[in-house]
Structure 1
Amino acid sequence: MFAVATAPGFAAWAGAGTANLLCFVGSWFFTTAAWMQLTLSDRAARFEWSAAAVQFAGTVLFNLSTGAAVWAHAVAAERRYVWVPDATGSLFFLISGALAMMAVTAVTGVLELRSRDWRAGVVNLIGCVAFGVSAVAAFVRKDGVTADEWLANLGTFVGALCFFVAAVMELPRSQR
């Protein structure tokens, strides 16, 4: 839903309200998946569990950010209720992506291109960086203008696609 809402031209076609609503609904699926990942994580595997916990916290912040985007109408409200949770959540994603790569490399090695887990971790980390770029670009200045709306949407679009691809890469393979 994040990818659809921020796809080039979608907000112009469907309206900013529709794009914000799609992000808000998508954030609940995102948080549910993060909660599932956290509950299924091995607490003894410190990096794995920490990555899941930090990512879950980031998704909760995205719930706040996307919800505020649907209801915020003032520039001050956008900065405080939309951008701050978005930027903080994106920082949490960067931290969780780094922790996830530490967990994966502890098992597979630093550069293991043949490992599906390692490749998925890299794609996920690229998505984390893209969300971080999006958050920086989405800063709302005092005059009410977003610093770089195009880059903010592109970062969210790329980040969402990376998170989706990484999740698909981790799906269990059928055993034939």
Structure 2
Amino acid sequence: MKSARFLRMRREAIGFAIGSTFFFIGPLPWYADAVGAANANLTFFIGSIFFTTAATLQLLLAGRRPPWKSTTSGDALDWWAAAVQFVGTLLFNISTFRAWQASIDTPDAMGVGWSADAWGSVAFLVSSGFALGALRRAHELWDINARTPAAVWAGMAGSVAFGFSAVGAYVLPSTNALANLTWVNVGTSFGALCFFTAAVVTRPGVMQEEASAPTE
């Protein structure tokens, strides 16, 4: 029988994969044209809920705890990566909800579509930096496979892409238009694809060990 820890690790990856799918679909022009501005923004909000749920599970995994004096550097970096990522998902909850509300109130207004907000994107970049640090000290982690190279680098690529989306969403004072709409749409979709990849390539060792362990 699979342990609660095993199930939480599976749900974490599934949550990030589902949330990423919503963020990948949301900025596609044909999708927004088909469902309307309000439903397109609702797609982002639902995706952010899946992100936050998955981030919560990752932060509360058995074996993970706030850094203590006895905590190794690898475990401390791993915890901070999860904690900052959780904050980033909460910021996305707020920005996606506001964009959804705005698209309901004024669906034809300029700039009602959601784009990666600056603070949430910064949090994701900082989280990815901590994750890279934890990866370099993987031998100190509570699970040596908690941070796998493919997942960490895919997550970093997604964070950078969301950062480009946030920069593109800057409203130019002189024209009151977005700095670069292509960066907004491509950055969001590509970032979501990277986060989806990070989720599906995650293969924590505990999953493999418990799944293959003989029953008594």
Q: TM-score range by the shorter chain?
A: 0.7 to 0.9
* Structure 1 position 139, deviation (Å): 1.6
Count residues in correspondence: 164
1:39 lines up with 2:60 in the alignment = yes
The TM-score, its normalising length taken from structure 1, stands at 0.82
| Bigger mean CA offset, 156-165 vs 52-61 | 156-165
1:14 lines up with 2:43 in the alignment = no
User: Structure 1 regions of 5+ residues with no counterpart?
Assistant: 109-115
Q: 2:95 maps to what in 1?
A: 65
Q: 2:121 maps to what in 1?
A: 90
Q: 1:137 maps to what in 2?
A: 168
CA distance in 2, matches of 1:106, 1:15: 47
CA distance in 2, matches of 1:37, 1:159: 20
Cα offsets for 1:16-37 (capped at 9, x unmatched): 2221110011111111101111
Instruction: Find the structure with the greater CA-based Rg.
Output: 2
* Structure 1 position 124, deviation (Å): 0.7
CA distance in 2, matches of 1:10, 1:26: 15
* Structure 1 position 8, deviation (Å): 4.8
Correspondence list, 1:114-133, <5 A: 117-133=148-164
User: Structure 2 regions of 5+ residues with no counterpart?
Assistant: 1-21, 66-70, 140-146
User: In proportion to residue count, which structure has more helix?
Assistant: 1
Identity of aligned residues (%): 44
Q: Which has the higher contact order (CA 8 A, sep 6+)?
A: 2
CA contact (8 A) 1:105 1:118 kept: no
Q: 2:83 maps to what in 1?
A: 53
